[in-house]
Structure 1
Amino acid sequence: MGSVGERIKLLRLNQGLSQESLADKLNVTKSTISQWEIGKAQPKNKNLLSIVNFFDTTYEYLKGGSEISDTCPRVVSIPYYNVSASAGLGSVNDLETYSYVDIENLNVSNIEHLVCITASGDSMEPVLKDGSVLVVNTQNKNIVDGNMYVFRQDDFLRVKLMSYEKNHLRIISYNKEYKDEIYNFSEISDLSIVGQVIWYSTKLNVN
């Protein structure tokens, strides 16, 4: 079926690219491309992401799966930060290390602006359960009424719905046990928008 290096070489040749040209596109050296193709080195996660996006292919194909087709799910690799956005009364986040997580069928063009974190608490239930995975577009910081955002408030990272109203900002929980929060525009400077939640995966309660 072909190794990762052989698949990269095939994709490169199909587009008529030299090793040097592909290296320029991926911001690596020609030697790196050569080592990938002959199997002396494997692309790191961030480079796999660049390859998948540049050739509009899938991880499954690179790793020996079937030929690329319109029915193949598109998989993207997104930085997954070891922090939680509180869907409750607030969560302090001091440690921000990250790995990568693969997500299928995420149809966005600005993948470099996406990050993954988890939600904690119950204020966004039933939509977000405690431990739900969130994909946040850090490029979308302008509030659109009714959309979900992750934001910093003092030392806390939170996730809520947001809506502009006359002279104030309303912060809303799905869980009706939590009252809406109202902030005058003069108080909004205390809030820092991290980005808009564009995808989430919620755990099911299984008995």
Structure 2
Amino acid sequence: MRQTQHFQRDVPAGPRARLLELSQLRGVSLAALSELLGRNPSYLQQFIRKGSPRKLEEQDRATLARFLGATEDELREAQDNSYATPVEPRNSDKWVEVPRIDLGAAAGAGRLPGSEAAFDIFRFSQRWLQEQGLARAQLSAIRVEGDSMEPLLNDGDEILVDCSPRPFRDGIHVVRLGDTLMVKRVASAGPGRIALLSQNFAYPPVEVAAEEVVIIGRVVWKGGRV
């Protein structure tokens, strides 16, 4: 109990406290979130503990908000800390059904895909999707299998994959390599080359020709048991 009280005194109020709270609720370390942003592992730790940088860059804030299932306002510096303000109930009857695909994206050595038929759905409010910048996204949900993306993605997590066509940029993607479906951090490895990277350093990087990989979609959100 003493440790908890001391810990809370050291954490600033506002977006920094909210980011720490969200990371703990989702079971994701600050180091893993920093790497999600393409930053050094101590980046968010310094942001929260030392106030450096003073505020998150807009793109970083948007990425964190999407991944943590939050709104960007929760992570934005503001005088009123609006994320803590109660929201008036709305008559929100508009929902988007996202198919759960009977398919696992391997976070490990890879696996052959199973059936791609939807066996269930998740329902998300249109308002929430708009807040996450996903109002026009082509979403589906699949599960993670294996441990190569830990601690960012754990075995059994369900991930939302945005299959909307868009220019490639580095990030966490579901890809198909041959007949194998995988979830990996995908990065450019030079002209005509792509690197498939794991969060778990026990798994070495895999570098392949760009034409060998089909990028199914970008991972934009995850859910899993605590």
Q: Tell me the TM-score normalized by structure 2.
A: 0.53
The amino acid across from 2:189 in the alignment is E
1:163 paired with 2:163, answer no
CA distance in 2, matches of 1:172, 1:119: 15
Contact 2:104–2:114 at 8 Å: present in 1 too? Answer: no
The answer to whether the aligner puts 1:89 opposite 2:109 as a matched pair is yes
**8 Å contact from structure 1 (residues 87, 159) kept in 2:** yes
CA contact (8 A) 1:127 1:202 kept: no
Q: Does 1:102 align with 2:123?
A: yes
Deviations 1:40-76, CA, capped at 9 Å, x for gaps: xxxxxxxxxxxxxxxxxxxxxxxxxx9626xx79853
TM-score, normalised on structure 1? 0.57
Structure 1 gap ranges (5+): 1-65
Q: CA deviation at 1:161?
A: 0.5
- SS where residue 79 of structure 1 aligns? strand
C-alpha separation in 1, matches of 2:110 and 2:166: 20
Distance 1:163 1:85 in 2: 18
Q: CA deviation at 1:88?
A: 0.4
Structure 2 match to 1:126: 151
Give the SS at the match of 2:110: coil
Paired amino acid for 2:136: N
Identical aligned residues as a percent: 26
Alignment correspondent of 1:20? none
How far apart in 2 are the matches of 1:142 and 1:178?
27
Query: Distance between the aligned counterparts of 2:142 and 2:94, measured in 1?
Result: 21
Alignment partners' CA distance in 2, 1:152 and 1:141: 17
Is 2:150–2:200's contact at 8 Å kept on the other side of the alignment?
Answer: yes
SS of the residue corresponding to residue 174 of structure 1 reads coil
Query: Residues 189 and 76 from structure 1, CA distance in 2 versus in 1: closer, same or farther, beyond 3 angstroms?
Result: same
The aligned runs of 1:109-148 (5 Å cut-off) are: 109-111=135-137, 113-140=138-165, 142-145=167-170, 147-148=171-172
Say which one has the larger Rg: 1
